[in-house]
Amino acid sequence: MDIASLQAFWDERYGDQAFAFGEAPNDCLVEQLTAHPPLVPAKPAHSKTALALADGEGRNGVWLAQQGYGVTSVDVSPKGLEKAQGLAAQRGVSIQTVLADLTAFDFGQQAWSVVASIFLHLPAERRRDVNRRAVAALQPGGIFIFEGYGKDQLRYGTGGPKEESLLYDLAELKADFDGLPVQVLHHFSGERLVQEGVRHTGLAAVVQLTVRRHAD
């Protein structure tokens, strides 16, 4: 799908007043960041930074901002990012929103304490590139948290892409990080109950991975 078509698809999905995936943060993100906070030197508060990939209507970016992170939320949908800003204002925090194609967006180098990739579904080659660039963008001791639907998700019909090529296998996902300066802190492939708005609701097959960039 080209970028114009992708933007139109997500603008339509985010066009309703209701939040397609709810207003609460993703469970995996909350659990993993709580269990594995970034190991960063004591610095001014503004240096505690988070990059939320494909953040849509902002539920994860806003939650990260509530935890004290300086957040940049990136998405392809103007309507999604508009709702993200509204949610941030409602919660009394601020986030920076960037309209961009993630496959071309510059994540920077050693810029972020946390990078979150939650239900971002890409073809294998693009997924691998994004994941490796995400690690390069982490500060030493920083955390990358990933959750997506697994290959078995088509049997559940409770959310996610309808193309198997856009669903994930844990071994293939872990291979994205081969040769990179990271430690795997958490990996999981199996069933869990996903209750995120009207679009993600019910028992689902998921794949999760959390890695920490080696501290210098």
Amino acid 215: pLDDT:
87
pLDDT of residue 189: 98
Identify the CA nearest to 74 among candidates 108, 43, 48.
108
CB 182 within 8 A of CB 214: yes
Quick one: which of 145, 215, 150 has its CA closest to 182?
215
Q: Quote the distance between the C-alpha of residue 198 and its chain's center.
A: 19
How many whole angstroms separate alpha carbon 205 and alpha carbon 69?
30
- pTM for this structure? 0.95
Structural domain range at position 15: 3-213
pLDDT tens for the 216 residues of the chain, in order: 678 888 888 889 898 888 999 999 999 999 999 999 999 765 554 479 999 999 999 999 999 999 999 999 999 999 999 999 999 999 999 999 999 999 999 999 999 999 999 999 999 999 999 999 999 999 999 999 999 999 999 999 899 999 999 999 999 999 999 999 999 999 999 999 999 988 888 999 999 999 999 987
- Model pLDDT, residue 44: 57
Instruction: Report which DSSP code applies to 164.
Output: G
Which CATH number characterizes residue 179's domain?
3.40.50.150
- State how many domains the chain has: 1
